[in-house]
Structure formats: structure tokens, C-alpha cells
Structure 1
């Protein structure tokens, strides 16, 4: 057991205490007449400009997954871990095309969630419910990944134990998230994102300049990493990885990048950040500017190679048996205690900000598309908001279940598992903003086929360390190559959707009514239809349209 580093822990606690205070004070920032309205609590008043949205979406997309899971994947497998870098280059053009149209139609009709749009577009409560439940489910492992990131840095600082004490950091993180998210809604992570990104850039710049110099230069870093990756893995007898992808990993690398790019913007938390923008052009500008973050992601991935080049870090990770500790151990070894504390605080804040947004997005989905749509269609805005606040607490508890139920040794698998599920909503959501040709029942059948196939295939994957859900990769039918399950499930999904749409159209199966119009998809801030004091009543047939 490590001794607690008081300096590191003090700096870490100081920053977390500061952002927690900011989180509570955010309830008064740019506040409307009341926070007891989903437009205010769940979307920050729908009024964020380009600058705030940049930080909010950055806080949304670049998380503890960025600091912990990506370098850990590089540390464990080499070049394969870099698949996270190109997927941004693929995803942001899709965001540029889809995002403004989704923002416009959602703003015009008062939609709060992706399921609101799908319900309105295809006239199907069942399809809207499927999208909502998928979004909630996909958020659980993603939030769990953030909590694992907090636990990793606390472990390296010496906060360890056995039994319940070992999981105490997760409960502390849960309590912090629950408190300021419940009180301030989306304004809290939006405001804290400024602190998070400042710390992120500071730590990355220092790490990229200072650590390689300490390790003998970049040449030595790559040589040492290559030597470490070429050693046989005791569990498999094969090299654990390589500096560049090879013939056997090309398909895995490419499908992980492509499948993840399809998922990026349709995750509920990403859409929540975009819908909080005040104008259509804010979404377009951010889609054009956010690729700058991918540069930072590439630099962070290199931390995995730096960790492999430090024999002390390699030995510490092997002793712990957890690749997620590679970057925390690297920072602990390379930096003076006070700056290591700053770096750990960057990871901690980088976990809490997106976890807060994710829990808000999931609670919005439950409130609007389960509670209001099926249980209490006459719920007042105040009641909706109160339910969303309570559900945001339950969502974090559900994320803890994922942490306890699945192995934590490669946390990136948690995010990729969520991607398998959320990609199955792509036809209804992302393609739905361009066409309504797909039949609502075909979309529901395709979603079901993709969900069942993807979940079952991921469940069957195993490793020496984990019996089920050990990898998001599986053999691609007919190709004899491993690929990302999300993409193969998506292909199955689309085949079912197209085939059944043709069949249903041929047999004249009734389709649902589309409450949107072509003009809705290019509308701007002044063109909203729903009354500001009662948004979203369209889905229950109440209020002005």
C-alpha cells in the first residue's frame, strides 16, 4: 500500500473544492425567472453563445476517457489506441451537416431530447421510447468511465484500501456530482468547463515538453515503447502491440474509428450541449472549431508511449495489474508533487464535468420520453424538472453498478460498449433530419436487431481477465477480420430498416404523422413555435403549435 502524498492530495482537493463551489454558484449564472423548467435546468436556458458552447462541448466530448482510457489503451496495445484520434476528423463533418438541422427543428418545436425529435418526426411513441431507453443505457458505462478515472488518480495518490474502503473514492465522486448537478443543472458543468479546459491545456503542454526530455528525448521514448510492446504477453504468448498497426489490426482500427464517429454526436450528452446553444450558427461554428481538440487528444495518446518508456512506471502498472494507472503513475514519477496534484486535478475535473452533463442528458430523456410521455402527460414544468433532478441521482447510481459489475482494467471498453448501443439510433436520429422515407416500424425493427446482435456479441467476448464484455471487437462476418461490433450491428440495423421499409410501403402499412416541416430544419432563434412558458407540450397534444 502506498503512503498518501499530502501535497498531491491537498492540491487535488483544493481544485475539486473550488469547482464544487463554482458548481453551486452556477445556479445564479445567466439564470432565467426559475430553474424549475427543463429548458432552464436541463438546457441552460437555450442561450449559450459560441464561446460558452465551445467549452461546454469540449467538456462534453473530452473526458477522463481522454486523459486515462486513451493513453491506457496505447500503453496496453500500442498503435491500436490511436484509433480515437482520427474518429474526430470523421465525426465533425457529420456534426456540421446534422447538428444545425437538429438544433433548428428542436428549437422550433421545443424539443429537449433526441427522443422528442424522433417521436415528432416519425409519429411513433414506441420509437421515441426506444431511442430514450437506449440513450439512458448508453450513458451508464460512459459515466462509469469517468468515475474510474477519479478512482485511478486517488489510488496513485495513496487513497487505497480493502473492501468498501477501496470503492470510497467512487462514492465521494458520486456525492460531488449529485450535489451540484441537482442544484444547478447544465449551468454547473458549463461554467466548470472553463476551469477544466484551462487545466487540460496546461497539463498537456507541460507534459509534452517536460516528460520526453526527462526520458532522454522522443527517440528514446519510441524505442523503449517499441521494445516493451514487442515482448510476449504472458497471457497470450504474443506481443502485446506495436508502434504501427499491422495487417491483422487494420480492420479493427478502421472500424473503431468509423463506428465511434457515428456515435459521437448522437450521444444524448453531446446533443444536450448542442441544443443549449442560442443560435443555429453557434452549432456550425463549433463543429468547425472543435477538431482542434483532436490535436490535444493525439498528444495525450502519446502519454501511453511515455509511460512505456519509464521502467518504474511499467513496473508499478504491472504490480497493480491495471493499465488505467499508467498516466497517473507517469505524472507521479515525472512531476514535482505540487504539479502532479494539478495534473490529477485536471483528470478529476475532466471526469466530473462530462459525468454531470451525461446524467442531465439521461434524466431529460427519462423525464420527457418516459415519465411525461407515458405516465404523467399532464405534468407541469416544475414537476418535470423535479423528476429530472431525482433521476439524475439515480443515473449516477446506475453508473456505479457498471463500475462494480465490469472489469476496470481497460475502462475504454465501457465507452465502446455504450457506443455499440447508441449507434443503433443513428438511422432514426441522424438520417431522420434529412429524410422521412424510412418507415417507423422498420426503424424500430432495425433498432431491435442491432441492439440484440450488438449486445449479445459483446457479451460473448472474453479475456483472461474478464469473462464477458471483455472487448468491443468481434469477427466481422464473411471477412475473417476483427472489427468494432457497433459498426457490424449498424450494418445489420440498416439492412433490416431498408428491407422492411420497402415491404411496408409495398403493402401499404400505415405510417405515423410527421409534425415537422421542411422549413423547421433551417429555422433560427426567432422562429420557435412552442410557447416559451410551456415548451414541449406538442408531444402530449397540449399547448400551442
Structure 2
């Protein structure tokens, strides 16, 4: 790390940061069909985004600081095991190609804004809908925290921050947080949708330059892989592991496979991913995006290799507080390999790449609170304007919750923040995805399965320590799988328990003839498209005098 503050890099970051901030505030008027005083306009961008806007929005939403910072950090510290992120982003798209169009259709036909809205309408269960909503909010916070960790890493490599006084150490993070909060409050989903164009262009520019230029300074790709293999062979020997344990993931099949499959199943359960899909203007948009989003998976594979480049470059990721921090490996690589002005471009790409998803995540979590807690339980008669105002305020509170995760949990392996959220959000899969195809599962059985999965997953994750970082709790995401004796992603084990409990409880409750609630949806709702009877044209309620898609089902 270069001593002192890199003024040139900082200037470039500030200029680009200011540019996207102005863009974020200007976005309030972009594609606006009326006042932002409704969740359809503020929280879903008017539900008018086409294929390319949705592609950039989903790309900005799903490929985040996780992509640019956390995955390469795992590659740098642990070897090829970190590559699980590449197959998971390939597995996920055939899955979402099947169920997301159905969710889009029923949500537009019935005016649902959140996945919990759908669960409420499908199963007639306020308790199950509340469970889905609160789980979504909880799981989103560590994911937002991961974005803030990415921003913090960039600032630290530029020389901002420090040790000791927490206000001084994290002042740049708080400033970025304030800017994010301001333009999210002002412009809603349109802000990250518009900024996503800039974010993706910067990331593609940086990765193309990095993949072409950095290997020329490190002896080519052969030299890069040789350096990585030497590092992990030495570490494996010292730890008593088999040869190439880390580099080739020998004996790690179960953790690798369960991390990939569990992450794929969890990805589009996150409320921010569903929010981006529901902002699409017709049913074909989610299908097209499932076909073209794998282009980002190729980008992710290239980004992951930055971790090996950092090894070959001899990067020693130690923070300003003197402690090792693998999250600094990629920013420090850029700092060492690029001239200051282009390092500033790369740092801006990471920071802006973290702001876009953080904005969408806070909007999605706020929508869940407003629709499924505030309106459902606290103020049933809330107007559309009151809903929008409540979501704006809660989007700020959610970001404060994310800061608690940032300041309270171990950040040296930030990917654990995302994997922790995955443990929780995967427990909503049966209620949402199974519910799109069948009502055989009993509502109380789904609730019981969710409760068991959440309890097991949380308790198991809490008891995982990390001797490398000294973390006593939430120090990892893999644990021994009951009955198998192999280690696997905790989310998958919890999900299997969830499904088993749901199936058994459904059989019992149906045998006892316990009422299963009223289904407010119809079979035709799941295949409806824009322009068809019953699929309303979305305009701002209370402004034009017409009804909007956020009306009660």
C-alpha cells in the first residue's frame, strides 16, 4: 500500500462519485409517469423498465462488491474453493427462467409489490407473510453491509480511515452512506437503475484492462497460477493437508457443491432481486434477462482470478490498523499495478458497484416493511402516499442496520456476510417458489418449516468460529451435515430440514382437516401479460385519478 493519501486516485474517485450522485438525484425525473408518492413509482420505477434497463439493473443488483472484493479475497486467501461463485451464477438462471415469469404475472395481475404480498394472497396467512417479510429484511442487512465493506476497502487503500477512534476510522464510510441514503430517498429505484449503466461500463473497462495488462507485468498467466500453487502448497503442508488441498479443492466437494447450489437457490429469493424483476414492463423481460445475464458470470470468473494475481504480485493485505484483511487484496493490487489516475477509475468502479446494489437492497427491504408490517398490522388504511413516505424513511433505517453488521461482525472475510444472508433467505424458498406451482403445502406447515430452518441455520452459523481471524461466532458458513458427516453450506442443511418439516406437517394437518386459508389468486394470474384483461396499466394513484398496480388485491 502506498504511504499517505493518493491524491490523484482520490480526485478521480471524487469526480466520478459526484457525477453518479448528481445522476442519482436527476433520476427522479427519468421515465416518470407521475408523482413518486406511491410504491409503484418510488419502489418499482413505475414498473416500466424494458429488457436492457432491467439487464443493467439486475446486473448492478446481483454483481456487487461481492463480485469485485469478496470473491477474489476468498481466492487470495483460500484458493480455488472461492470459485464456487461461478457455477452458482450459471445454475441460477435456468431456475429463474421457470419461476420468475410466473411471479411477475401474478404480481402484476394482483398488484403485489413484495414476495410477502404474494405469499399473503396465495396462502391467506398473515403470519407466513410476516415471516417472509421479516426474513427478507434481516437477510438484506448483511448483504448491504458487504457493499459498505467494499467501499471501506477502497477508501482504506487510498489512505483514508485509520485506527483508534471509530468516528475517524469510518468517517469516509459514513459519508458514502449519507450520499447513498440521500439519493435513494429522493429518487427511489430509478436512481440505481440509471447509475447501473455507469457502474457496468466502469467495471467492464477496468476488468478488460486488468485481465490484459496485469498479467504482462506478472510473467503471464503461467506465472500467476504457479505463484498461487506455491502459496497454497506451502500453506497446506504447514497445516497437514493433502497436496493441493486449497489450490485444487481436493476433499472439498461437499462444501463446494452445497455452496454453489445453495447460493443459486437463494439468489433470487432476496427481495432486491425480486424488486428488480417486478419493475419490468412485461412477462418476457425476466425470461430474456435469464438468457443474457450469464454474460456477467463470465465477468465474475475473470474477476475471481484477480485474487491469484494479487498473490503473484506479492500483495500483503494489511489494513491501516495493522491487521490482515483479505478484502484489501484487489484494491491493493490495483494500487500497485496501475498508474494513480487509472487506479482511481478502478476504485470508483468498486465503490459505485457497491452503491448501486446497496440502494436497491434498501428500497426492497423498505417495501417489505411498508407493505407487510406497517400496512398489514400497524396502519391498514394507509394511503399510497403514506406507503411511499414510510418506505423512504425505512430505507434509511435499513442502512443503519447494515452499519451495525459492518461494525459488529468480522470483515476480514466479507463473503461470510453474503453467505449468512443466504442461510436466512433460502428458508423463504418453499413458500414463494413452491407456492407459484401448488397449494398442496399447508400454510401452517410452511410456517413451521420456515421456523425450524431459521432456528437451525441461525444457531449453527452462530456457533461457527474462525481461528484465522479470532471470530468466535458467525465466523463461517459451512458445518457438519447431520447423518452424512461431511461439511456443507449451512443454508442447504437448514433448507432440507425446512422442506422435511413442511411435508410431514402438511400431511398431518391435512389429515386433521385444519383450515388452509383462502387463495386469492386464480390459475390465469400466473400466465398473464401486460396488455391483457386484468393486468392494469400502472399509473400513480391519487395523482391521475386512475388505479395503480399497488391497489389491494
Which structure 2 segments of 5+ residues have no match? 542-546
Match of 2:316 in 1: 314
State the TM-score, normalizing by the size of structure 1: 0.96
Shift of the alpha carbon at 1:482? 0.8
Deviation at 1:430, TM superposition (A): 1.2
CA contact (8 A) 2:34 2:41 kept: no
Given the alignment, which residue of 494, 509, 532 partners 2:514? 509
After superposition, residues 14-163 of structure 1 pair within 5 angstroms as 14-162=15-163, 163=165
SS across alignment from 1:480: coil
Q: Which runs of 5+ in 1 are unaligned?
A: 540-544
Inter-partner Cα distance in structure 2 for 1:294 and 1:530: 35
Aligned position for 1:329: 332
Q: Quick check: 1:218 aligned with 2:227?
A: no
C-alpha distance in 2, partners of 1:96/1:401?
35
- TM-score, normalised by the number of residues in structure 2: 0.95
Q: CA deviation at 1:538?
A: 6.2
Aligned Cα root-mean-square deviation (Å): 1.7
**Number of aligned pairs?**
538
Conservation of the 8 A alpha-carbon contact between 2:42 and 2:388: yes
2:319 & 2:333 partners in 1: Cα distance? 10
Q: Distance in 1 between matches of 2:537 and 2:214?
A: 55
Partner residue in 2 for 1:338: 341
Q: What aligned pairs does 1:54-453 form with structure 2 within 5 A after superposition?
A: 54-162=55-163, 163=165, 164-232=167-235, 242-247=246-251, 249-311=252-314, 313-314=315-316, 316=318, 320-453=323-456
SS in 2 for 1:231: helix
For 2:55 and 2:523, the matched residues in 1 are separated by: 28
Residue 292 of structure 1, CA deviation: 1.0
Rounded to whole Å, the distance in 1 between the matches of 2:549 and 2:509 is 30
The 1:174/1:315 distance shift into structure 2, 3 A limit, reads: closer
Decide whether the 8 Å contact of 1:196 with 1:349 is kept in 2: yes
Partner deviation per Cα, 1:478-515 (whole Å, 9 max, x = no partner): 12111000000000000000000011111101011101
Separation in 1, partners of 2:287, 2:145: 30
Report the equivalent of 1:542. Answer: none
Given the alignment, which residue of 460, 469, 476 partners 1:471?
476
Q: Residue 531 of structure 1: CA displacement?
A: 8.1
For residues 444-497 of structure 1, the C-alpha deviation after alignment (integer angstroms, 9 at most, x for no partner) is 000000000000000000012201000010001112111000000000000000
Q: Contact 1:317/1:323 (CA < 8 Å) preserved in 2?
A: no
Q: Distance in 2 between matches of 1:442 and 1:507?
A: 13
Q: CA deviation at 1:160?
A: 2.2
3-state SS, counterpart of residue 488 of structure 2: strand
In 2 relative to 1, CA 200–457 (structure 1 residues): closer, same or farther, beyond 3 Å? same
1:316-372 C-alpha deviation (Å, 9 max, x unpaired): 579640000000010000001000000000000000000000000000000000000
Aligned-pair distance for 1:274? 0.2
Could you list the structure 1 runs, at least 4 aligned residues long, displaced by more than 6 angstroms after superposition.
none
CA distance in 1, matches of 2:192, 2:361: 10
- Write the distance in 2 (CA, Å) between the matches of 1:213 and 1:356: 37
Counterpart of 2:544 in structure 1 is none
1:55-75 alpha-carbon deviations (Å, 9 max, x no partner): 000001000110000000100
Q: Is the 8 A contact 1:317 1:326 kept in 2?
A: no
